[in-house]
A and B are shown apart, each in its own frame.
Chain A
Amino acid sequence: MSPDFVIAAIMTVVGLTTPILLAALGELVVEKSGVLNLGVEGMMLIGAISGFAVTVFTFNPWLGVIGAAAGGALASLLFAVLVLGLNSNQVATGLALAIFGTGLSSLIGLSFTGRIVPVFGSIFPDALARHPYLKVIFGYSPIVYFALLMVPAVAWFLHRTRAGLILRAVGENDHSAHSIGYSVVKVRLAAILFGGAMAGIGGAYFSMVITPMWAERMTAGRGWIALALVVFAGWRTGRLLLGAYFFGILMALELYAKAAGFSFLPSPFWAAMPYLMTVVALTFISARESAGANAPACLGKPFLPST
């Protein structure tokens, strides 16, 4: 294997990993607060089209990313109103959001098909970003570095701040958190909006970085992989990063197997691996109940205060 091939392979893996890492980080915070939002795929698509649309109008990809985050958050607000305001079933509401986001993004995208947008310039000098070897570190879109920075940021927030502690308390025992005076609904609303914004940025990575154009359903099911990733990681931030790159490698193997460059196993095998591994990992987690690596106790349950 030539060094060029290795560098291209690494850059492929990073590109495949970034959107699922972003969406999964958001979903991790949502699930830590005790809410299961299955609508990640829909929020990613809404983010992809809103980011694209904002960039088309402003010619500024940075504003585009902000638009993507806003679009994703707005989509998640719909979910939040139903789930938190009206205590609707989280599973069904999340699925509805996934279907809704797919449809709405296709509809809005009608007027953006065939348009192209300006792409991000490199944040590093060209000497580094275009260097044949150093580009493996410096040659990415700013979104990639943002995603990597968000990993320690989310870990720090969840485990080193008071707000993070409250969020986890709400996810583990909503009634206790409520009885000592924390607003379960407000905490969960904030978590859901953050999850939506992160999924939106993850979606924008498709429409603004991977292929700077709009195509219907362009996230191609990665929202579901992001959901799997949170579970695969056992709801832990560090493992989420490792898991994201592990899934990224599996997705790259699928691509290479499909392109038939090399394949000792057919591409569907690699495509199925993230989901199969998630089922296996979830079984281990649930069977062992190992400390810390477990589902938040209130995950998916509606909060009905007695008073």
Chain B
Amino acid sequence: MRLKLEKRPEPSTLMLFVTPVASVLLTMFIGMVVFDLLGINGFRAVIDIFLTPLLASYKWQDVAVKAAPLIIIALGLSVGNRAQVWNIGAEGQYIIGALCAAGVGIAAGTAGGPLVVLVMIVAGIIGGMAWAWIPAVLRTRYDVNEILTSLMLVYVAFQVLAYLVGGPWKDPNGRNFPATAPLQPSQELPILFPGSTVHLGVLIALILPFVFWLLMSRSVFGFQIRVVGSAPQAARYGGFDTKRTIILALLISGAMAGLAGALEFTGALGTINLGFPSNYGFTAIIVSFLGRLNPIGCLIAGIVLAVTYVGGQVAQTTVHIPNATAGIFQAMMLFFILASDILVRYRVRLVGSASSAQGVKA
């Protein structure tokens, strides 16, 4: 008796939905065991990382604010991933987006109001697109691998940020600390609920998944993206411009990352310092996979990952584990979802002794 894999004629829809949930549950279970083995209260750690942020209502605003950039970036990445275009440089596009918004804010001086904020956000979108345009052009014109270039540009973006906040944009009243001057209130995104930290970006992150769902399932562009990704030959026969689709996919993902950066800057932080890059661009890759590249899936997965971020901070104070350990859980979820992909595409069959007897004869 042994296990045999049989390719399914169609990917299993049931497995498509079941596996992400199973991945999260399995992560919680394995995490508990591993933490106990390391001499840490595993049950408490898992409860704090996965449940406390959901059960304690005062943590909800933190979850919402953290989920917003993750969801927005993941939506863009999912478009690229569906076209088999791998933008792993969203972190860089996010940083450049925020810097562009900050640049507009500084240029505007004391001017504020909705128009200025809007221009800041548009600048962020354009900045993110411009940063993603580099790997897009290199890929389509010189056939340069976009995975490697987009990743390299993340680290260039880090240094652009370090240079700007440590030099020309350094707050003159900031005691020589490398950070931009805090935004004035008239340049900040409006807060949705007075007294909370929930800003307009959270609303945008709630609406965008539905926009992307329409785009991907109801438009010609969405169809092209899916065909270019799943059947490049067919796309060519069908007369689709593959290069244009690749460029668009990268520009959309760059635009979303830039938007997320601009929203995070104008809505949540109000200043940019060396700690501004917080791996949202990389974590969003997990979100897009956990959400199965589906816009609504990204919305849910973004909330799950945001919970682990907030929960990681909770566990830091309750069971005294480093903040980076939330990363263990995030990575484990991605491991499980990647491993379970095989269940979507294949069927596991128990092969009886009959066929193994055949094997002996042969």
Contact assessment for A95 and B339 in the assembled complex, using a CB-CB cutoff below 8 Å: no
A122 touches B (CB below 8 Å): no
Residues of A within 8 A of B342 (CB): 86-88
CB of B189 to closest CB in A, whole Å: 28
Contact assessment for A91 and B147 in the assembled complex, using a CB-CB cutoff below 8 Å: yes
A86 to B335, CA, bound (A): 11
A297 touches B (CB below 8 Å): no
Contact assessment for A103 and B325 in the assembled complex, using a CB-CB cutoff below 8 Å: yes
Residues of A within 8 A of B166 (CB): 266, 268
Q: Is the interface of A mostly helix, strand, loop or mixed?
A: helix
A1 touches B (CB below 8 Å): no
A107 in contact with B160 given A95-B282, A100-B327, A283-B138 (CB within 8 Å): no
A51 to B209, CA, bound (A): 45
Contact assessment for B335 and A82 in the assembled complex, using a CB-CB cutoff below 8 Å: yes
A36 in contact with B147 given A217-B324, A276-B156 (CB within 8 Å): yes
Q: Is the interface of B mostly helix, strand, loop or mixed?
A: helix
A287 in contact with B142 given A86-B339, A269-B163 (CB within 8 Å): yes
CB contact between B335 and one of A36, A100, A217, A283 (< 8 Å): that residue:
A100
B96 touches A (CB below 8 Å): no
Question: Which B residue's beta carbon lies closest to that of A88?
Answer: B338
Those of A192-233 within 8 Å (CB) of chain B: 216-217, 221, 224, 227-228, 231
Contact assessment for B144 and A106 in the assembled complex, using a CB-CB cutoff below 8 Å: no
A102 touches B (CB below 8 Å): yes
Contact assessment for B321 and A107 in the assembled complex, using a CB-CB cutoff below 8 Å: yes
A286 touches B (CB below 8 Å): yes
CB of A144 to closest CB in B, whole Å: 25
A38 in contact with B151 given A88-B341, A93-B338, A272-B160 (CB within 8 Å): yes
Contact assessment for A275 and B152 in the assembled complex, using a CB-CB cutoff below 8 Å: yes
Residues of A within 8 A of B158 (CB): 271-272
Those of B135-179 within 8 Å (CB) of chain A: 138, 142-145, 147-149, 151-153, 155-156, 158-160, 162-163, 166-167
Q: Which 4 A-B pairs have the closest CB atoms?
A: A103-B327, A100-B331, A272-B159, A103-B328
Q: List 7 A-B contacts (CB under 8 A).
A: A99-B283, A99-B330, A267-B162, A269-B163, A271-B159, A279-B153, A283-B142
The chain A residues found within 8 Å of chain B, CB to CB, are 36, 38, 78, 82, 86-89, 91-93, 95-97, 99-100, 102-104, 106-111, 216-217, 221, 224, 227-228, 231, 266-269, 271-272, 275-276, 278-279, 282-283, 286-287, 295, 299-300
- 6 extra A-B contacts, CB within 8 A, seeds A99-B286, A110-B321, A283-B144: A91-B147, A95-B334, A96-B334, A99-B331, A103-B327, A279-B152
The chain B residues found within 8 Å of chain A, CB to CB, are 38-40, 86, 88, 134, 138, 142-145, 147-149, 151-153, 155-156, 158-160, 162-163, 166-167, 279, 282-283, 285-286, 289, 321-332, 334-335, 338-339, 341-342
